[in-house]
């Protein structure tokens, strides 16, 4: 039985030359097994940091507090030796930066086969067959040829699909997919979406899908969490959140889509920068005076879920 991933009070900040940088701010949420959970939010909102924290893959300048229950274990506190056994086998990662994630001096086929055999106890031939199958699924018409090549011989879009294959190679119960369609054209985006859906239905792989691609999120996800400045400001069923956004920030994200008029979220209003209220207050087009004085809690969201905005108090 694949356990849920339960994050409690996660905060992450980084030491930098310019001082501390906060990335995730007291975030609590439960990702339910058996679902595809989307995480959206503008650049820098903390999506990748939250995802990488689960596998403890943040650099050592990151300070992480909180708890992450995964069955009986706490992912943030368990011995690293044990956590390494979960990586790839229980929780796979499709990382955001594919170029940096592929080994430059190991043939593609061997990298994927290693992901398959590391936890699976399959023979080399079985691993090679599964590698070819995965590559074919991800749109490589000639998997044998690709398997014999190196990462530098691949285009950006090919690397993107290769890291997806790599993240799924060990057939993990969970996968954290960080921008799996980034940089792909419409045809390949649709293909990756189909493969993820297939893997979800055939292998019951639970997924955390981090994406800017709201069409992908709508097609694939059961639920959505919307991140702003390291906090979840809205969560609920994927279609409902994307079609009927309640938080002004979510409305801004979905309104910035080409089909919806492309209205960008306004930059901060300098008059509103000094405040103790809602983090979105300086940019909110619907803010009222009290929004700048107190932080909203999580209120029940019409349509289900939660929303962190006083309009729903």
Ligand X SMILES: Nc1ncnc2c1ncn2[C@@H]1O[C@H](COP(=O)(O)OP(=O)(O)OP(=O)(O)O)[C@@H](O)[C@H]1O
Task: Give the interface with ligand X as residue ranges (CB under 6 A).
Answer: 14, 16, 21, 23, 41, 43-49, 59, 61, 96
For residue 143, the minimal CB distance to ligand X (Å) is 29
Q: Are 226 and 308 in contact (CB under 8 A)?
A: no
Cα–Cα dist 198/195, whole Å: 5
Using CB under 5 A as the binding rule, the residues of this chain from 75 to 104 that contact Mg ion are 96
- CA atoms 92, 97, 99, 101: torsion sign: negative
| Distance in Å, CB of 130 to ligand X, minimum | 30
Residue 75: CB minimum distance to Mg ion, A: 19
Which residue, 40 or 128, is less far from Mg ion as judged by CB? 40
Of Mg ion, ligand X, none, which one does residue 45 interact with (CB within 5 to 8 Å by kind)? ligand X
**Among 7-15, 42-50, 68-76, 267-275, the segment contacting Mg ion (CB under 5 A):** 42-50
Q: Which is nearer to ligand X, 43 or 201 (CB)?
A: 43
Residue 4's Cβ-count burial label (10 Å; 0-12, 13-18, 19+) is middle
Write out the binding residues for Mg ion, residues 151-210 only, by CB under 5 A: none
- Do 301 and 236 touch, CB atoms closer than 8 A? yes
Please say which residue, 109 or 180, places its beta carbon nearer to Mg ion. Answer: 180
List 73's β-bridge partners, or say none. Answer: 70
Joined together, the tokens standing for residue 123 give: 């023979």
Nearer to ligand X, 24 or 128 (CB): 24
- CB nearer to ligand X: pick between 46 and 92: 46
Please identify, using beta-carbon distances, which residue of 225 and 301 lies nearer to ligand X: 225
With a CB cutoff of 8 Å and minimum separation 6, the contacts of 247 are: 226, 233, 234, 280, 307, 308, 309
Which of ligand X, Mg ion, none lies near 46, with the C-beta cut-off 5 to 8 A by kind? ligand X
Q: Which of 124, 133, 256 is nearest to 199 (CA)?
A: 133
- Taking CB within 5 to 8 Å according to partner kind, which of Mg ion, ligand X, none is near residue 23? ligand X
Q: How far is the CB of 123 from ligand X (least distance, A)?
A: 38
> What is the distance between the alpha carbons of residues 243 and 3, in angstroms, rounded to a whole number?
30
For residue 46, the minimal CB distance to Mg ion (Å) is 8
44, interface contact from Mg ion, ligand X, none, CB < 5-8 Å by kind: ligand X
Neighbours of 160 (CB within 10 A): 24
State the nearest-atom distance from the C-beta of 286 to ligand X, in Å.
23
Work out how close the CB of 28 gets to Mg ion at its nearest, in angstroms, rounded to a whole number. 20
204 Ramachandran zone, left/alpha/beta (phi>0; psi -120 to 50): left
48 binds Mg ion (CB under 5 A): yes
The conformation of residue 98, written as its DSSP 8-state character, comes to H
Contact 274, 293 (CB under 8 A): no
Binding site for Mg ion (CB under 5 A): 48, 96
């Amino acid at each position: 039985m694949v356990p849920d991933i339960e994050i409690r009070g996660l905060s992450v900040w980084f030491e930098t030359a310019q001082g501390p940088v906060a990335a995730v701010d007291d975030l609590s949420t439960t990702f339910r097994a058996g679902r595809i959970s989307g995480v959206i939010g503008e650049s820098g909102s903390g999506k990748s940091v939250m995802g990488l924290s689960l596998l403890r893959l943040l650099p050592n300048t990151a300070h992480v507090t909180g708890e992450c229950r995964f069955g009986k274990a706490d992912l943030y506190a368990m011995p690293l030796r044990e956590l390494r056994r979960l990586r790839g086998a229980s929780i796979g990662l499709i990382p955001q930066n594919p170029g940096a994630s592929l080994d430059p001096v190991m043939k593609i086929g061997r990298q994927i086969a290693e992901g398959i055999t590391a936890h699976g106890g399959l023979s080399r031939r079985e691993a090679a067959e599964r590698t070819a199958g995965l590559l074919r699924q991800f749109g490589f018409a000639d998997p044998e040829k690709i398997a014999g090549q190196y990462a530098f011989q691949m285009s950006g879009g090919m690397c993107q699909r290769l890291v997806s294959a790599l993240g799924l190679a060990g057939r993990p119960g969970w996968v954290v997919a960080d921008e799996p369609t980034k940089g792909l054209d419409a045809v390949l985006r649709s293909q990756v979406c189909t493969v993820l859906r297939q893997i979800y239905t055939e292998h019951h792989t639970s997924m955390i899908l981090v994406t800017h691609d709201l069409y992908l999120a709508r097609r694939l996800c059961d639920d959505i969490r919307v991140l702003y400045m390291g906090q979840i400001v809205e969560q609920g069923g994927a279609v409902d959140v994307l079609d009927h956004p309640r938080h002004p920030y979510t409305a801004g994200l979905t309104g910035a889509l080409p089909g919806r008029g492309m209205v960008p979220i306004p930059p901060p209003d300098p008059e509103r920068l000094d405040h103790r209220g809602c983090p979105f207050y300086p940019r909110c087009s619907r803010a009222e005076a009290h929004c700048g004085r107190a932080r909203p809690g999580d209120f029940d969201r019409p349509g289900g879920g939660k929303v962190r905005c006083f309009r729903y108090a």
